[in-house]
Amino acid sequence: MKTTRRTFLQRLSVAGVGAFSLRTTPLRAQSVLPVGGPIVIATWKNQPGITKAWELLQQGQPALDAIEQGVRVVEANPRDVSVGYGGLPDQSGNVTLDACIMDHEGRAGSVTYLEHIAHPISVARRVMEVTPHVMLSGEGAYQFAREQGFSRQRMLTHEARQAYRNWQREHRQSPEFVEPGTHDTVGMLALDSEGRLAGGCSTSGWAYKIPGRVGDSPIIGAGLYVDNEVGAATATGLGELVMKSLSTFLVVEFMRQGMNPQQACEAALQRILDRYPTEAATNQVGLVALRNDGAVGYAGLQPGFVVTLSQAEQVTAVLPAAAYQP
């Protein structure tokens, strides 16, 4: 049976009864309430990063600084195998990192396929602030980072190296084929007390990807989009689906048209379902939206997507998103 927006929303409303049992109020009601800043929200269980960002926002620091420092905490965590130090490598055994950052003025910076640098989010910020470009890639991004004072670091941890060797043994017969694996992202959005929005994304990408692969995380309009007149959005999950749909740009445009953040996330997921039903049936995409008045929304294609949020009434809470499966 063809999925329509009506059936999509009906199923979400039914699923939401159980999915929001950890919350004091339903997301659908809370998502449309303008709470103002400061507020910070991130994909997945990124409490340490959110805590750092929240501390800076509470001190009156700009959203951009809070985003950079919050994402840096996640990048430095060796137990996170999909971001920064400790990230799983590509098929050649190399850890390659992608990141982007965007501020309330519409400025953006991005790095892709960056090696040997621990904090791609900070390199992306330098691209935004000191170059006329938006994106630097590969060896050029690395040389730029070194010129900006970033130190070279070995990014493959012992645990990641062992996981890679295990993968090699299991895929020795067909190394050219890669199943969708670990490809999650830290995507973080913030609104400060001055009404300034900012966002950032960082990832090591699809585990054991074909060398050269870049996902949605560093792509403005795919992994992240910020428009201070409206709001901001970030994405996680299978980057190929997000890139083909320009999901975060779409979320912000839906909010511009009058949808609240929750409706905008759901409508963008519906776009993916309509255009790529086979891929969407088995792969995760999670979307998070933050409106410029502090209202939030979030949803995922599959069960299990959560966000981490800090605001005045609820500090560093992990909240489940409603999942939709056609």
Q: What is the pLDDT of residues 206-232, one digit of tens each?
A: 999 999 999 999 999 999 999 999 999
Contact 234, 100 (CB under 8 A): no
Can you give the residue ranges of every domain in the chain? 5-320
Confidence category of residue 43, pLDDT binned at 50, 70, 90: very high
Q: Domain 5-320: give its CATH code.
A: 3.60.20.30
Catalytic positions, written as ranges: 185
pTM for this model (two decimals): 0.88
* Cβ within 8 Å of residue 59, ≥6 positions away: none
Mean pLDDT, rounded, for 281-301: 96
pLDDT of residue 325: 52
Cα distance between residue 188 and residue 307, in whole Å: 10
Contact 271, 250 (CB under 8 A): yes
pLDDT one-digit tens code per residue, 120-147: 999 999 999 999 999 999 999 999 999 9
